[in-house]
Structure 1
Amino acid sequence: MSGGTGGFIISEEMGAAPSGERLRRIEASPNWRDGAFRNLVEVPDFTGKRRSSWRAMYDFLTDKTAGIEPSVRVPSVKTPLESVASGQIVWLGHSGFFLHESGLRVLVDPALGAASPVPFAFKPFRGADVYRPEDMPSVDCLFITHDHYDHLDYATVRAIANRVKRVVCPLGVGAHFEYWGWPAERITELDWFEETRVGDSLLATAVPSQHFSGRTLKRNTTLWAGFVLQFPGKTLYLSGDGGYGPHFKAIRSRFPSIDLAILEDGQYNTDWSTIHLMPEDWRRAVADLAPKRVMPCHNAKYALSRHVWTEPLNCALASCRALGVAPAFPTIGEAFLWASGEPMPHRWWPDRA
């Protein structure tokens, strides 16, 4: 598949498959079996009546359910990222974050354009698109949780390549970066529960999630993951994408004091309930992790499923109240002290979608 789209070559945006020494390392992973990466627990990708990804995509594109997209601009601010104080984090929308902590500046999954290889599909909501690649400052490390288009955005990483000292990603994902011209010495790939140091103040550990990967029709040739970022006296958990499974309790056992858990919440559907968190499973995951504070993400920027866009936020707030866990509900672009433990329950989204 190739051709021009918005100035990009679609085949280039799809990236490259792992090969050579990278592939040999992948094949030695305990999470690689029968030619593909596997979840800790074998689960089907599709759990509803439709077993075909093509049919699911058709149903989504033809769905006219009211409220999937906001009828008004999504509330947001645009904090200049260079001004973000140490100890603060900024939500860029969806699963994207900018963090300034302990002398380091970090980016996570900064998908700032369309969540698709073609710019006219899955465009960000008005107001959720306040940040562009040119707004990203120089950073010490870019973390990518997996290679789906709504997390690894080609246009964004291409534009910021000269402003990123290093990228940390799951096994195999580095093949895309090298194909796009990133030097191999600036790429670190991790298997689940492998760790790496970033500077003197950050220990980063890749942790399991229950999901899948792929930028083409061939799936699971690269790994997917969450990350635990440990700074002096502070721990941040980033779930990446994924459904409910035993990995949440495994993460809690290794990291018993999580200051803030940023947990995917949105783009769920009964047809893929094992690979994204349904609202009741989001609550179970929070209970398993027992963080001091929790923030929902993977919502409020793209319509990638068929639920009303505000539903994940309403459900997450109700779960925080039921569990007695302090919520963090910033608006897109709002800088806040991520490890303070103070509740941020303010409801910024409208009552009606």
Structure 2
Amino acid sequence: MMNLIKKTIKMIGITIGGLIVVILLVGTLFLNLSPQFGDSPTDKQKRRFSETGRYKNGKFHMSAPVSSSEDTWGTIKKFFQPNPKGKPSKLIVPEKIDSLEIINHNAGITKLTWFGHSTFLLQLDGKNILIDPMLGDYASPLPLSAAKRFTTELPILTEKLPFIDAVIYSHDHYDHLDYESVKKIKDKVGKFYVPLGLGSHLVSWEVESEKIEELDWWDTIYFDHIKLVCTPAVHFSGRGLFDRGSTLWCSWVILGEKERIFFSGDSGYGPHFKEIGEKYGPFDLSLMECGQYNEDWRYIHMFPEETAQAAEDVKSELLIPIHWGSFKLAHHHWTDPIERVAKKASELNVSLATPKIGEPIILGKEDYPRKEWWLDYVN
């Protein structure tokens, strides 16, 4: 009897061990063969990185830690805990736009259309510019329901987008740089402007290298007459298990003939906002991260009150909160970001616009969208 028990335990152990080996093998193959993870920077790119003074031992470094907690597993568990108010009560129906509206847009008017999260179509000085075009359904390398988009659809089908003069990326995380989106738009994009190293992903996805411009912090480049400045952010990068910090992350200053726009990308709050404001402000508009925050991530993601303060720091006349309203990537209630930033903006006398997804904003108009549309989607 004892021999039978020992044999059974041994077989169970062998089976479990085999399953673990299979899982590890499948995971390794997925990480190495799935194209959505992108590619590593080349040696030529790395030689340029080494000149920045922030790239050491194969990684870009920042002064702040990624997490303030040593309990990584506890943080992950919180993400998957039930939160009935973590998502809208029903799918959000966006305002629809037509490709003809984009094509026939008056070049003398600056218009922005929010696609949700951090994605915008900016029509500035006759150019169509996509900012962090995450147009996929899942903010994840796998179709996990926890990271599924809140909306029924996008304001416009990706396939119906007209020619895009330029795409601007802030960093390579999945909720900003999406493989499927790149594959769908790459052949109708004129230029890609990205922080150092991110171009390696695009090239692996068959974007022509001649279309890609990589910039370091404080680098300036002209796209026709539009001035683009790659500016600092307090964040990190990485798409796989072992490539954290292999590419740079950033915010962007976008200076047209008349309008001045700041895009924060993802960032913790810090003195870089005042420095950007002193160098390039005041801004007519700031698109500021507001959402997907956690006490454990306070160094790399702003809390809503800090979002309003950052808008004041860069000397912004109008603030549009972004990085909320489309995905559940943290454990807070889905409306907390907009409610908290609205309260703080009012205290600081910062003008706030709250467009619905797909609702256009025309700079220079006094009647910016300010309706509390999210109340239609709460329990």
TM above 0.5, one fold? yes
Post-superposition shift, 1:2?
6.1
What whole-Å deviation, never above 9, does each CA across 1:40-82 have from its counterpart, x for those lacking one?
A: xx1121124x442x54223312x11221011123242011244
Structure 2 length as normaliser, TM-score? 0.86
Separation in structure 1 between the aligned mates of residue 100 and residue 130 of structure 2, nearest angstrom: 12
**Residues 1:188 and 1:343: Cα distance change in structure 2 (over 3 Å):** same
Structure 1 length as normaliser, TM-score? 0.92
What whole-Å deviation, never above 9, does each CA across 1:151-187 have from its counterpart, x for those lacking one?
A: 0000001111111011000000000011111111110
1:47 equivalent to 2:68? Answer yes
- Greater CA drift, 319-328 or 217-226: 319-328
Alignment of 1:1-353 (within 5 A): 1=27, 11-39=34-62, 42-48=63-69, 50-52=70-72, 54-61=73-80, 63-84=81-102, 85=105, 86=107, 87-113=110-136, 114-121=138-145, 122-127=147-152, 129-199=154-224, 201-217=225-241, 218-340=243-365, 342-350=367-375, 352-353=378-379
Separation in structure 1 between the aligned mates of residue 93 and residue 348 of structure 2, nearest angstrom: 27
Report the structure number with the largest CA radius of gyration: 2
5+ long unaligned stretches in structure 2: 1-26
Is contact 2:238-2:244 (8 Å) kept? yes
What whole-Å deviation, never above 9, does each CA across 1:282-313 have from its counterpart, x for those lacking one?
A: 23212212201000000000000011111111
% identical aligned pairs: 33
Post-superposition shift, 1:339?
4.5
Separation in structure 2 between the aligned mates of residue 80 and residue 319 of structure 1, nearest angstrom: 35
Separation in structure 1 between the aligned mates of residue 82 and residue 335 of structure 2, nearest angstrom: 16
Quote the RMSD (CA, aligned, Å).
2.0
Post-superposition shift, 1:83?
0.7
Post-superposition shift, 1:36?
1.6
Separation in structure 2 between the aligned mates of residue 82 and residue 339 of structure 1, nearest angstrom: 23
Separation in structure 2 between the aligned mates of residue 138 and residue 153 of structure 1, nearest angstrom: 19
**Residues 1:128 and 1:227: Cα distance change in structure 2 (over 3 Å):** farther
Secondary structure in structure 2 of the residue aligned to 1:205: strand
Secondary structure in structure 2 of the residue aligned to 1:105: strand
Secondary structure in structure 1 of the residue aligned to 2:374: coil
The number of residue pairs the alignment matches comes to 344
**Residues 1:339 and 1:190: Cα distance change in structure 2 (over 3 Å):** farther
Separation in structure 2 between the aligned mates of residue 51 and residue 221 of structure 1, nearest angstrom: 24
Secondary structure in structure 2 of the residue aligned to 1:300: coil
